[in-house]
Every structure is written in C-alpha cells, then in structure tokens.
Structure 1
C-alpha cells in the first residue's frame, strides 16, 4: 500500500503533527484481531484537531520537551505523542499510562494506556515496528536489529492484551475505579513491512494493506534513475512520510555508503518541499 499518497500528507506540514497523524491513521503491518478502528482513535473532530495543531504546534512541542519525547527510543517518542492526543483530543479522557503490573516483585507487564474514547473504556497496547525479509514468510521478518523478530512481537502484543485478566491487575484497576469487565482490549500497531517488491497478497496475519517498502541487502538490488533523490532517516523519523527541504536531500552515490538503516526516496512538489514517495530498509542481515 502506498500510504505516502494519503491526502492527509498534503495538508499537514509539521513533522511532529505528521508523526502523530501516522500513529492515528496508518494501517497495521500485521493483524492482531484486536485493532482499534481509526475512526475511534480520531473521533468526529480528530482531523480538525490535527489541522489546528499543525497551525499552532507549540503546546505539542513543549509537551514533548517536558516529558522526554525526544529521547533516543522511537517507542518513547510514539508513546508521548499518543499520550498528548489522549489528554487533549475532544473525545478522549486519559485514565492511566504505563502502569506496571507486578506479582511477588516480578513485573508481569504494563498497561500502555487506559483511556476513555467517547463512552467506551479501552486498554490499548502500542507497537511501532519496522520489519524486513527477502520472503513474505512470517518467521523471516526481522528489524534492523536481527534479534527483533516480528513473530516474537506478535506474541508479546497478545500477551500484553491479556494483562488485565491477571489477578495481580485487580487492585490496580480497583485503584482506577475500574473492573476488568469494563475494559475493551485493543492494539495500535504501526510501522512498515519491507520486501524486495511490495506485495498485494500476504499470508495472514501479515496485512496485505500494510504500509510497504523495499528491502535490500546490497545497494545494487535497488534500481533507480540518475535523477532520483533520497533522504536518510534517523531513528525518530520513521513514523510518517518525510517532508524536507532541499538542503537535506542526497544522491544515490551518497546513500550507497550506508551499510544499514532506512532511506526515503523523495520527490519535489509544488510547495517547494521534497516528499517521501517510497522507503528502503538496508540491512546486512541474511533473511531467507
């Protein structure tokens, strides 16, 4: 799926707002069977709220700075963005965030979010993951760190979604004036799948409508024209399609020096900025 062409990217200009919009609207790389609908996350006024944030993003900037949103981990950045949304979106009330569940001094897990959206209360688990493989087989997808495997994260999400059923969670929910039966359990899984060629049909639970890019182990595998231009993504730039100025673009000869990482293919548009139209995961791992 070419998520880069979604109309939302023609309207939103600020990177942090684009990143938040991606967390709210992007398709999941795999189906957990517990995805929260985008319409529930956004609410009736969600798109208007994003547009207003894009025009006046100062409160979001200050919130991220105050709460460590720009720390080194992508997951922390994503959590802080969603926490801001649940605190400020018109249809949302944040009840709890990152609450650990322990038993006999052992941590069983943590509730990422407990939030009321309209009239329903949700236990939400968030994952932002980027996996590549030479094949479309579930067990072969790994991240830039080869020990980060999709199949393991898929099982971990299911385990986390069952957390409220643990006896150790009963007192935590009671402190929040909640009972297990009140909670709906749902996932927010975001990220991309990378293969030698994007595919329209993938085996379940991989999502055929996922945001997809190109997986390469050798730069000679990626074919492009001499006029192609690129942008090297740092680890906090993964969430949304890049929108950058001309002084940040590089040529193919320059990116060929990269041994491992992610690179956006960019094209200039009428607004004078360069917009991401495709993404590449370059790795030295040998996924078969």
Structure 2
C-alpha cells in the first residue's frame, strides 16, 4: 500500500512517544531505493492493514512501556540493532504480519556465512524473507563540475561505507541467503520471497541541496538532508534566518524519526545556541545536527537535519567515492 511522502510524515507526527515515533518512521518513511533489481518490502498489503497498524501504534503510544522494555536495551549501542528490535516488535505483536523467525544464522563447516534478518508470513499466506538496512549517506559528487549522481557518490559520514558497495552486498549476498543450500537444511518450509526493507536519509551539499537529482536507483521521494563544511557553517550561521532557532546535536540513536522539543528544552537550547554553534564550527568529525523552530501553536518542531563536516572532509570523501574498493 503506497502513500505519498507528506502522508507518511503525517503518520509519524501523530505519535508523541519517541520510541513509537521511531517505529512508525520505520514503517512509513519512504524507501531509499526504487523497486528494481530487488523487490521492496511492503509492511501493509492493504489499506485495512495500514489502518489497523495505525490504531495499534496509537494504543502503543498511550502505553509504550512494553515497547520500551523491548527496544531500549542498554546493549543496543548500534543504530541498526535498535532498528531491528523495533521491526521485530512490530512483526511479533502488530496486526499486519506474523513473525516466523529473526536473525537466523547460516553456517558452513561451523562458520557463520550469513544471517537472515526476518522470516515472516504475510496476511495472504506468502512467506517472506526481509533484509533490513537503515542507511545515512552524504552525496559528494563533483562540486566543481556537477554531473549525474551515481550510487558511489553517496558515502558514509565517517568514510567507512559507500552506497554502491552496500547495494551490491544486499543484492548478491543478503537477499540470496534463503536460496542457499545452507538455509534449506534448517527446515523452514518455503518457498521464501526475498525483499529489501531499506530506509534512511541522504544528505546533499548546501542548505538548498534539494535541487540535486538523485542516482537512478534511488527513489525520488527519499528523505533528504543537507551538509556544510565548518567554514560554510560559519558563513551561514551569521544569517538572520538562524534567529529564533534551536540547534541540537543528534546522537546516533536519535537519527530515525524527527523529534519535538518542549518549551523548556527549546528555550534552554536557544539560550545556549552560541556555544553550540561554536562547538560545531570547530568540529573534527562529521556531526549530525537538527534545527528546531516554533510552530503556529507555540510548540517546537524539527525543521531540518544536516551534517557539519570538517573543512578537509570533502576532499577525502571524493577520494573515497572514486576508490576501486
């Protein structure tokens, strides 16, 4: 059941609890990729299942402790593990599908060669194998001579990951796990249809990076953000448009759904904004930030997200994007 990006945002914004919002974001955020080489996972086969899930999320929002107990585990220090725990809770307790197994290891000669993220049974009886990926990449491209974007132009902020390499790994290895002989001997009755569950956000250079056309494999409705060097940040922050905004450094475990601020927290951040901006100007590692602005009702809502990167980061990123890894 497809939905417009604006509808998906509305679905997430109706919930107040942070963990419920993160789960709703996983279910309703646009996919990063187009339907193409891999089939994409669809959490809801029908509008009735979507509506039932929204009602279930609303009841969870009113009493979220069970979800907190499941997903707010101090051992979950990686964003991917946290996202997996949220999706596992939905498949185990939600109204749209039935979880068969999660994190199923495949072994050859006692060596683990892969792990199936989720095996589930859809409402129509189809047996599905979902591989989950939640990715955040910065588009580097060629800043001096713009050209059509390629997947290799999207790099992880710490330059340890690249979208083209992750894409190839997902298609050639992870989605193929349920077709291997090592899976067949585990006894899960099939056949299994492999699908990719891929969410995230892509960040483009400049505060007005929306004008960059994405690589052909990327869904045109994907979530976007921006990135600036520390020098560019110093130049931009002097503008009047920054007045009255609260800036927050986003910890990695808060990279999923947009956040809201209560009045006390927002006023405190506005008061500390100069100190926050000064720290960002001197950043030595790429740092995600969010800008909050007051809405018509007097609350504070997230307006945009972006990365502040060191001044030498773009040169390193272009080299990483071009490397034959």
Do the structures match in fold with TM over 0.5?
yes
Q: Tell whether 2:260 aligns with 1:234.
A: no
Q: Deviations over 1:199-257 (max 9, x none)?
A: 46322112221100002222525735231322211010001011122425352652342
Q: 1:209 aligns to what?
A: 221
2:161 to 134, 148, 156: 148
1:157 to 170, 194, 213: 170
For 1:102 and 1:271, the matched residues in 2 are separated by: 56
Q: Tell whether 2:267 aligns with 1:262.
A: no
Q: Show the 5 A alignment for 1:1-288.
A: 6-31=9-34, 33=36, 34-40=39-45, 43-65=50-72, 68=73, 71-119=76-124, 120-135=126-141, 136-158=149-171, 159-172=173-186, 174=187, 176=188, 178-179=189-190, 181=191, 183-196=192-205, 197-199=209-211, 201-221=213-233, 223=236, 225-227=241-243, 228-246=245-263, 247=265, 249-250=269-270, 251=273, 254-258=276-280, 259=283, 260-269=286-295, 273-284=299-310, 285-286=313-314, 287-288=317-318
**Further displaced range: 204-213 or 253-262:** 253-262
SS at match of 1:7: helix
Residues 1:156 and 1:255: Cα distance change in structure 2 (over 3 Å): farther
Residues 1:252 and 1:204: Cα distance change in structure 2 (over 3 Å): farther
The Cα shift of 1:128 comes to 0.8
TM-score of the pair, normalised by structure 2: 0.79
Residues 1:208 and 1:91: Cα distance change in structure 2 (over 3 Å): closer
Q: Is the 8 A contact 1:4 1:278 kept in 2?
A: no
CA RMSD of aligned residues (A): 2.4
List alignment gaps of at least 5 residues for structure 1.
Answer: none
For 2:26 and 2:288, the matched residues in 1 are separated by: 19
The Cα shift of 1:56 comes to 1.2
Q: Deviations over 1:2-34 (max 9, x none)?
A: 769821244111100000001101112233632
Structure with higher RCO (Cα < 8 A, 6+ apart): 1
Q: Is the 8 A contact 2:5 2:30 kept in 1?
A: no
Work out the number of aligned pairs and report it.
281
TM-score of the pair, normalised by structure 1: 0.88
Q: Is the 8 A contact 2:225 2:306 kept in 1?
A: yes
**Further displaced range: 200-209 or 162-171:** 200-209
Q: Is the 8 A contact 2:98 2:122 kept in 1?
A: yes
List alignment gaps of at least 5 residues for structure 2.
Answer: 142-148, 319-325
The Cα shift of 1:127 comes to 0.6
For 1:69 and 1:85, the matched residues in 2 are separated by: 20
Larger-Rg structure: 2
Residues 1:271 and 1:13: Cα distance change in structure 2 (over 3 Å): farther
For 2:9 and 2:98, the matched residues in 1 are separated by: 28
The Cα shift of 1:92 comes to 2.0
Residues 1:169 and 1:2: Cα distance change in structure 2 (over 3 Å): closer
Residues 1:4 and 1:237: Cα distance change in structure 2 (over 3 Å): farther
For 2:274 and 2:303, the matched residues in 1 are separated by: 15
Normalized per residue, which structure has more helix?
A: 2
Residues 1:69 and 1:93: Cα distance change in structure 2 (over 3 Å): farther
